[in-house]
Structure 1
Amino acid sequence: MKNRNLARLIVVAIVLGIALGGLLHAQLDAESAKTVAGYLGLVTDVFLRLIKMVIAPLVLATLIAGVASMSDSGAVGRIGFKAITWFLLASIVSLSIGLVLANLFQPGVGLNLVHLETVSATQVGLNTGGFNLPTFLTHVFPRSIIEAMGNNEVLQIVVFSLFFGSALAFVKGRGKSSIMEMLEELAQVMFRITDYVMFIAPLAVFAAIAATITVHGLGMVGSFGKLIVQFYLGLALLWALIAGVAFLALGQRAKRLLRLMREPVLLAFSTASSEAAYPKTIAALDTFGSPKRINSFVLPLGYSFNLDGSMMYQAFIVLFIAQAYNIDMSFSHQIMVLLTLLVISKGTAGVARGSLVVLAAGLPMIGLPEAGLLLVLAVDPILDMGRTATNVLGCGVAAAVIGDGADGDPEVEPVGTQQPA
């Protein structure tokens, strides 16, 4: 299926999903709506399972091959340093935009809520029990690569791949290694499987949108319209900033990159899953001409640490909750919020509903009631779509810009040496 046709079909699926969901919500009672949405959700669940089936072997194959191709270990260090620097700066900028816009728009002002009830994270379906620094640090390192792949623990797969790739580079330096050929062939097989899975992507998108609207209805957009519009204006500003950085770094080639990123971004938006967009993001970067070894190294790290949309969401919602409860937050308090979110958000790699978990863990730290989570749970599916699409766009641009900056590195193949897929 050609990329342009798939993108168009996804847009059509979104429109049809909204129409069907609105119709079902109007005709069904609450219990029946949940039942029908559950059946619709089966299609999306199957699609996401098939995508997750591809991700672990794809990350493993591409990342090991990429690291092994950098025979100079210093090249890995230089690229890793550039990536971490980018991720840190991007996180600070995204958090800052969220804080500035929340102060400007004042989305929670006027709600005048009183903090009487006590609501814990577990009461709203969020598990923060293992959300602490020691647990995160030990969780980064896999006990078994089989277990890591079985659970789609991308960060653990990255750690194993770094070790394996470095060892393979040493062995390869002593003579020809057939493992590299096997890894490259495995990656190509995974891309082909992705093409097969993508045939049902429009159907999965249709089902996902229809299921959400069937349960919540279009009315939730009206009830939380102010918050949704202001949040998406913030995302638009963040997108403009990301695109601006791409043009500064890549020149007019940024137009082609953004055009290629359209399909994975649409997939991420409509399914609210960055995993669903991962194979297509890798393919888009390869088609753009970004070095494969850079893509396979930077993108998995970005999926764990470079979550631009989630960063902005967390800062924006924290101030929304404070305003809703009439809790005044001074400038110094907001700086503390920024630093707190900057640190704890890096522990959400592989955590289900990571952005909400960060909020659940962070609200008590900064003196805000956890009951504020109830304000955003109903509308979170709509916000999640936007922040997930932004995460994917940010990761794709980061990989392309870092890959372009590697042109002068003798250990990295230059941009543009690959043939479009």
Structure 2
Amino acid sequence: MGHFIVIGAGQAGASLVAKLRKDGFDGDITLIGAEDALPYQRPPLSKAYLLGEMEKERLYLRPESFYAENNISLRLGETVTAIDPTAKTVTCGTEVLTYDQLALTTGSHPRHLPAAIGGDLDGVHVVRGLADVDAMAPEVTSGKRALIVGGGYIGLEAAAVCAKRGVSVVLVEMADRILQRVAAPETSNYFRALHGSHGVDLRESVGLDRLIAEAGRVTGAVLSDGSNLAVDFVVVGVGISPATELAKAAGLSLENGIQTDAQGRTSDPAIWAAGDCASFPFQGQRIRLESVPNAIDQAEVVAQNMLGANKDYTAQPWFWSDQYDVKLQIAGLNTGYDRVVTRQGQGRQASFWYFKDAQLLAVDAMNDPRAYMVGKRLIDAGKTADPAVVADPDADLKPLLKA
């Protein structure tokens, strides 16, 4: 059956190798990861783990014994430096490994602040991997002063954790509003109010001009509006970029990530890609989904196709974010929406329904699992919802599923 190599030991890579074995592949499998830790789940890093509410061992997707029992060669703390598609080899350290099929689940990199404005100072953190959060955790203590750069979900989640730990938080967002790239103004307004109620100083249309340091450590910040802040540490949440360096060097086609067909195959028929790093066709466009559900589902379809299934991956996008006592659940993609219908519940409960013409595209549901569940089922089935029913907080949503 040959040798299958998977580069990238995150959620997608771990899901892919497990699916290969589950579906009966009895050849050799090698999973290579640059981090020393066993494959782990990332979402709790910036939430429960940073808050000290989750032990490191609970982050691991599977115990180490799983890989040995399933005859999966797990190579951690190793970096692949080259792929040769013609020879079908990968270079890992001083070793050259030969593959029959290769899967790239290389994930993504956090964007850093430029060194010219202080991005490489001590006390400046990104939130992506286990080592990042372990480095930041000692800073997140009561009485400290934090600057959060970026008002996307990563920045807002970091702000929530810091505020819960008694840190004084200023969050700056260069755009006109937080979440501008990913959500409607209604959702931005909801989370602006939520963070304000927890004491976060949230400043929109304000960027970072530069950081100030003493002895190589950040001590302050100058903002684009000329204001000065004294800060003890900085958290940078300005997005991620797909990890495409290996693919590019190997001559694979790129388009906002590693370009794949509907089955996860790259421009080389023996090389596949899944997870954050992969861009794929979806409803007449090409997208890249940065989410755990996509990493799992896409990787499992790729595993099946590596075994000859010839199965298209049909994405059903959904996401979540936890901030304070609010659980945000998102179903669908809101790209191209022209109308938002608000369903207001009790207290913090609310949902925002995105439509294009008469078609339901997406739902943002805050502390409203029923709205999320109904919205997701409608979207997955290609159905829509009656806006009048959605807007009536007393109306039962479940009959929409039978329409």
TM over 0.5: no
The structure with more strand, counted as a fraction of residues = 2
TM-score norm. by structure 2 comes to 0.22
The structure with more helix, counted as a fraction of residues = 1
Higher relative contact order (CA 8 A, sep 6+): 1
TM-score norm. by structure 1 comes to 0.21
